[in-house]
Amino acid sequence: MPKKDDEFLKKLLATFRVEADEHLKSMSSGLLELEKAPGDARRAELVETIFREAHSLKGAARAVNFSDIESACQSLESLFAGMKSGADIPGQLFDLLHPALDALGGLLSPESAAAAKPALATLIRRLEAAMNGPPSARAEPSSSPTSAEPAELAVAAAAEALPASRGPAPETVRISAAKLDAAMRQAEELLGARLAAGERARELREFQAALATRKKERAEIHTVLRALERSLKRSGKGNGESIGAGERRSLAKLIEQLEAGNVFVKTLEHRLARLAMTAEGDHRALTAVVNNLVDDVKEMQLLPAASLLEALPRMVRELARDRGKQAELAVQGGEIEIDRRILEELKDPLIHLLRNCVDHGVETPAERVQKGKPAHGTISIAISQKDGGKIEVTVADDGAGIDVAKVKAAAAKLGEVSAEEAEQLDEQGALALVFRSGVSTSPIITDLSGRGLGLAIVREKVERLGGTIALETPVDAGTTFRIVLPLTLATFRGILVRAGERLFVIPAVSVERAVRVAVEDIQTLENRETIPLGGQAVSLVRLGDALEMPRKGESADTVHAVVLGSGLARIAFQVDEVLGEQEVLVKSLGPQLARVRNVAGASVLGTGEVAPVLNVPDLMKSAAGLAATTRAPVAAEKPAEARKRSVLVVEDSITSRSLLKNILESAGYGVATAVDGIDAFTALKTATFDLVVSDVEMPRMDGFDLTAKIRADKNLSELPVVLVTALERREHRERGIEAGANAYIVKSSFDQSNLLEVVRRLIS
């Protein structure tokens, strides 16, 4: 019995945590809207909503004996009751309420509860002080149930958690995401049976056609034999001779057997027609049932986009405040329902894009006013439904836009393109570079930006979901990212091709067209094969070469190719045959083959054959690498042995100095140390270093002054400087930028790999 009680308590606590999270999210979004100072009617409505959410959370916490949450909600109720009475809301109150809700959320997790309790208690005291002292009246007397209370009281408290305004409970049930995923996988498995049934029906149709052809041939033979029989009879009478009895019997027997065979063929044809008709009917019925089942399970996976977006306005608010900016997030299309799995995968790309908008896009209030813009910047997320089962997610800001010249310079410095190639790029070609890993226009590397990984991660995630991303940035009129994604994840349309003896599936969303090209139209430009397409020369690569398959002899006058596009890149892949487009269910390769280059998964065709599903972004990279190898000189000079890079560590704390020295030496760098800025500058004058890692707060000369002194020295002005410090406020980061630091790492979020990554980027 105790075991059953424990299991019930676990389920009850899990249910409470889900409910509590919903209440906290609703309170947070209500506070964000209330902070915008709406009209009196809307203000009263918002306060009432927040008050009811706090009241409901208090009742639910009481039911599971979460006394800390119940007590905190009691205090919040009193605060909101004061708001309901029309009391003025101090501006600093919102800066306290948001962390208080975070601390309440921390109490829900056993891992963070111990740290959240004292923080929440402090915040509640400050909240009460902000509302002009402790509240004189409570919404209701505290009555936390003890463990000895009867079960009836707990049930009554749980009933209290449902506000009267909500009416009857909706006809819904909670179900774990794991069970939904399992149901989806089983429904998808039926798609294989549907494809197989379609293949059997097709084979029967082909057999019918073959039998009809054979029947026609037999009829022609029968006609010939009858004509032969008549001819022989006439020939025998004319010569006064008769055909031997044996020959006549043989011919008659042959005709008799042929006619009997015709009867059998007719019977077989009839039975085959009935079988084919039944197979077609079964296929149609199975298709209808499977499609409806898959659609219903897909519907169960759909969630409103608002479930992803509701936490983002607050994130934007806090990021902007941390950067000394003013910005708010406007959201449209939150009611559109999207596959839960897509929403989960879309979270990180949206966060990266919003960080990009805040950090790189929206200007400071002073800069915006100088440009004639409102001091308050606007960032927007708009979700709209498109034709063909797709959605478009637009993330835009009204900031400064992207400086194309800086993008070209950053890409050239990183070695992504040569300086000459960068100059020849048009605007769209240059903007495509921002999605390359490592390309960043930020003047300094910080915990938020500067590594050039954010947009590369966004593109990788979007392409993995079978989507595309595009970028628009009018001069000084903001930046807009457009992401197009499928509405659900299940089957997709694929192009089935043959290369050599193997079949492959290419996602149709990445295929621009399939073409047939005459061999004489294939030209060689810059040591690469190309084909003419739309007035342009498009690189031609054999699919087998990109997949490292053995090449066989070719003698055809024309070649088949599929033109693939990823971003702005276009490459034609030569194949032996394009077999057509069909619906494809992709299966993962399992944990043992979690990341196979060029392969995204596998699909079982209706014939039962397994065909690899190709990963188009990987395929494009393989093709580009193949072309680069082709262009490489036959004999390359052996590179000289790389010189060991040296780093100067400047830190007054012997512990921190030893730690930094050990980390860098373990990574293969030569390390010298200095105890403060003056000692470091003396060392820089007497020895050569590739990079300086410095603390900020030091005696005699701090890190800011040391950085400024390095930048002012003509012999040292290009030396990279990384500041590693406990000073994490915005003003300190800005001072680091002004001094000329290349990176600013905060010790509170210090990570060994983080430091080494920054060092490698700056002196690679």
Same domain? For 64 and 159 the reply is: yes
Residue type, 486: P
Strand order in the sheet with 536-542: 511-518, 558-566, 569-575, 536-542, 528-533, 523-525
pTM: 0.57
In a domain, 66, yes or no: yes
Residues 678 and 581 in one domain: no
What CATH number corresponds to the domain at position 196?
A: 1.10.287
The pLDDT score that the predictor gives to residue 147 is 36
Tokens of 301: 């996976």
Write the pLDDT tens digit of every residue in 21-38. 888 888 888 888 887 777
- 501 within a domain of the structure (yes/no): yes
pLDDT band at 164 (very low <50, low <70, confident <90, very high): very low
pLDDT at 504 exceeding the cut of 90: yes
Q: What angle do CA 542, 544, 549 make, to 5 degrees?
A: 145
pLDDT of 366-378, one tens digit each?
A: 888 888 888 888 9
Asked which of 29-38, 258-267, 745-754 is least confident by mean pLDDT, the reply is 745-754
In the structure encoding, which two tokens stand for residue 133, read together?
Answer: 């002292």
pLDDT of residue 259: 73
Q: Is residue 397 part of a domain?
A: yes
Nearest to 402 by CA among 433, 381, 423: 433
- Mean pLDDT for 331-351 is 86
pLDDT at 747 over 50: yes
pLDDT for the residue numbered 137: 38
pLDDT of residue 153: 33
Query: Which CATH number do you get for residue 390?
Result: 3.30.565.10
* Dihedral (CA of 444, 446, 451, 454) sign: negative
674 contacts: CB under 8 Å, gap ≥ 6? 648, 649, 650, 651, 680, 682, 683
What is residue 477's three-state secondary structure? coil
pLDDT tens-digit series, residues 459-468: 878 877 778 8
- pLDDT for 388 equals 66
DSSP state of 641: P
In this structure, the answer to whether residues 497 and 617 fall within a common structural domain is yes
Read off the pLDDT of residues 695-714 as tens digits, 9 standing for 90 and up: 888 888 888 999 998 988 88
Mark whether 478 and 495 lie in a shared domain.
no
CATH number at residue 735: 3.40.50.2300
Same domain, 364 and 292: no
Listed ranges 178-187, 435-444, 548-557; the one with the highest mean pLDDT: 178-187
Question: Which has more confidence, 294 or 138?
Answer: 294
Domain boundary among 631, 662, 694: 631
One domain for residues 334 and 460? yes
Q: Provide the CATH number for the domain around residue 26.
A: 1.20.120.160
Q: Is the pLDDT of residue 1 over 70?
A: no
Residue pair 364/399 in contact (Cβ under 8 Å)? The answer is no
Mean pLDDT value across the chain: 77
Boundaries of domain holding 566: 491-631
Answer yes or no: are the C-beta atoms of 58 and 74 closer than 8 Å: yes
pLDDT number for residue 395: 92
3 state DSSP class of 83: helix
* Contact between 526 and 376 (Cβ < 8 Å): no
Strand, helix or coil for residue 752:
helix
User: Can you tell me the distance from the alpha carbon of 723 to that of 742, in angstroms, rounded to the nearest whole number?
Assistant: 8
For residue 357, is it within any domain? yes
Q: Rounded to the nearest 10 degrees, what angle do helices 177-238 and 245-301 cross at?
A: 160
583: CATH: 2.40.50.180
Q: Which residues contact 445 (CB under 8 A, 6 or more apart)?
A: 451, 722, 742, 743, 744, 745, 758, 761, 762
* Domain-located, residue 564: yes
Same structural domain for residues 506 and 543?
Answer: yes
Do 261 and 279 lie in one domain? The reply is yes
Dihedral angle of Cα 404, 406, 407, 408, to the nearest 10 degrees: 90
Token pair listed for 305:
């986009």
Query: Mean pLDDT, to the nearest integer, of 478-492?
Result: 79
**Of 631, 656, 672, which marks where a domain is finished?**
631
> Is the pLDDT at 653 greater than 70, yes or no?
yes
Contact, 694 vs 680, CB < 8 A?
yes
Lowest mean pLDDT among 34-38, 153-157, 625-629: 153-157
566 or 482: which leads in pLDDT: 482
Of residues 298 and 648, the one with the higher pLDDT is 648
Q: Which of 5-14, 542-551, 569-578 has the lowest mean pLDDT?
A: 5-14
Q: Report yes or no on 414 lying in a domain.
A: no
| 3-class SS string, 319-356 | HHHHCCCCEEEEEECCCCEEEHHHHHHHHHHHHHHHHH
For 113, other C-beta atoms within 10 Å of its C-beta total: 16
How many domains does one find in the chain?
A: 5
Region 269-280 average pLDDT: 86
Instruction: Say which residue, 491 or 206, is predicted with more confidence.
Output: 206
Percent of the chain scoring above 70 in pLDDT: 79
Question: Phi-psi region for residue 567, left (φ > 0), alpha (ψ -120 to 50) or beta?
Answer: left
The verdict on 517 and 661 lying in the same domain is no
**Helix H or strand E segment including 577:** strand 577-585
pLDDT at 394: 92
Report CA 337 to chain centroid distance, whole Å. 17
pLDDT at 452 over 70: no
In a domain, 53, yes or no: yes
Based on the fold, state whether residues 80 and 8 are members of the same structural domain. yes
**Residue 325: left (phi > 0), alpha (psi -120 to 50), or beta?**
beta
The answer to whether the beta carbons of residues 73 and 171 sit under 8 Å apart is: no
Q: Are residues 658 and 616 in the same domain?
A: no
Residue 549 lies in a domain: yes
- Looking at the structure, tell me whether residues 619 and 658 fall in a common domain: no
Asked whether the predicted pLDDT for residue 313 surpasses 60, the reply is yes
The first and second tokens of residue 513, run together, are 């067209």
Q: Is the dihedral of CA 573, 576, 581, 583 positive or negative?
A: negative
